[in-house]
Structure 1
Amino acid sequence: MFWQTQKTARTANPGGRVPRRRALAGGFTVVVDTRERYPFRFAGRDVTTERAALTAGDYGVRTDDGQLRAAVERKTLENLTASLSDGTLAFQMQRLTELPLAAVVVEGRYPALFELEHVAGAWLGDILARLAVRYPGVQVVFADSRRFAEEWTYRFLAAALGDATETDPQE
């Protein structure tokens, strides 16, 4: 709750970690999959990008030992609809579960799934819900627009990398 201090939150949830700072103080490298046709630029961010083939996702971050720590699969609303319909999203989410942290970010709003003309929105919503249950380790985030999808991807990857490298002196 918003009125709790870090100390009371830690006392109420022993073993739980309370974020103490922004995801990363310095810059980091985002690996962009070679198959990504129109990658995010991360303009105005202290981020460098490198192109490489990723086993899962379109964007990822690696730990110091070169292991893929987290990945994000980017979808436009049209691409999400197609991959839900033909079953490819299920395979992509299965590959994402092999990583410590993973997400699918959608450049669109969830209600827009139900406003499509050529596909029953309830059917798409049902498939998406089933995939969320089948792969609970993969977050599905609707980010409203490409701009917000890029922003969310940046923050998710920075937090994932920061969490992997953070040392907490109080633990």
Structure 2
Amino acid sequence: MPDDFLIAHNPEDGSRLPYLLRIPLGPDGVVLKAKETWPRTGKVYCHRATGWPSEPDLVERVPTRSCVRRGASIDLVLDRGRENRSQFVLTRARGREAVFWQTARTAKQARPAVSLPTRAAQASPPSRSSSTATSGMPGPSTTSRSPPAAKGLPAGDYAIEVAGRVAASVERKSLVDLVSTLTTGKMRYLLADLSSLPTAAVVVEDRYSAVFKLDRVRPAVVADALGECQARFPTVPIIFCETRALAQEWTYRFLAAALAHAGEETHVETEATPLTSARAASPGEVRQWAREHGYAVSDRGRIPREIREAFDARR
């Protein structure tokens, strides 16, 4: 399967779609004709191409962090700092297939007309005490450790690394930021990026019931968008905590648990090879070794304990 997202010039003369895109999905990738090299100002119309040229005139080659087909769309996350999250939406127009390439900036969140809930859900606060930030990393103030190194993350606000790779990440949001991210359509791109990591979550510094007290946007719009996000990206939970301090506490405990889990998996991988590949020696092999080393052993019957222990010790 192709590993990189490729953009090349369309070799067809006079085409209104001057670029070819190869999406790294499937054994041969998905090849599309496109009008632009990135949806910067609006959605980019794409059309299926017959195939990828044998000697393409490449415009750009970008490593891919994640490329997943979800229903009628393809979520693409590129391994670069900017212009890295996009989505290809497969639909039909006038009975023919149409593909639109969009980003959170160019897409608009759908707002279905639904009735508001009559009762607001209540969130139960965690029973653990709140904590304060330490050197920009969430965690109890009593913890003594060196400040973490500041560097960019592929996704999220906080993360842990194991063997130089991000093992878990958390995106923290206030309710205002959450609403803005949902209604502008940016949340699905953020979740697509987080879902490419081994473990990830979004934690909101407010109650879920606060969603139904919003006055600048219909609460049903936000509630429906949250439900859609969880159904679309079930591996990235969205957790509501009552306060910033409790959200900070949850983030710290989540990352600590993820670190311990990653350590257990690393230990299992390290120890699995000798345990699974080890084979118990047969009695014939033990007898042959014993004779070669001057031990008297019969051709049949039980091998003496001292010989077996000597054989095991030499290993």
Q: Which of 87, 99, 103 pairs up with 2:185?
A: 87
2:153 corresponds to: 54
Quote the sequence identity (%). 39
Distance apart, 1:40 and its partner CA: 5.0
Cα deviation digits, residues 130-163 of structure 1 (max 9, x gap): 0000000101100111000000000000000000
Amino acid at match of 2:178: L
- 1:22 corresponds to: none
Measure how far apart 1:68 and its partner are: 0.3
Counterparts of 1:69 and 1:145, CA distance in 2: 26
Structure 1 stretch displaced more, 160-169 or 50-59: 160-169
Structure 2 Cα separation of the partners of residues 122 and 101 of structure 1: 29
SS of 1:57's equivalent in the other structure is coil
1:119 deviates by: 0.5
Task: Establish whether residue 100 from structure 1 lines up as the match of residue 184 from structure 2.
Answer: no
CA-based RMSD: 2.0
Q: Report what 1:164 is aligned to.
A: 262
SS in 1 for 2:155: coil
Structure 1 or 2: larger helix share?
A: 1
Out of 232, 239, 253, the residue aligned to residue 134 of structure 1 is: 232
1:73-120 Cα shifts (integer Å, max 9, x gaps): 000011001101111111111100000000000000001011000111
Residues of 2 paired with 1:155 and 1:40: CA distance?
12
In 2: Cα distance, 1:82 partner to 1:133 partner: 20
Structure in which a larger fraction of residues adopt strand: 2
The structure with the largest alpha-carbon Rg is: 2
Q: In 2 relative to 1, CA 41–154 (structure 1 residues): closer, same or farther, beyond 3 Å?
A: closer
Gaps of at least 5 residues in structure 2 are 1-133, 272-315
TM-score (norm 1): 0.72
Structure 1: 5+ residue stretches without partners: 1-29, 33-38
Cα displacement (A) at 1:44: 2.5
Aligned match of 1:124 in 218, 222, 228?
222
- Bigger relative contact order, structure 1 or 2, given CA contacts below 8 A and separation 6+? 1
Aligned length: 132
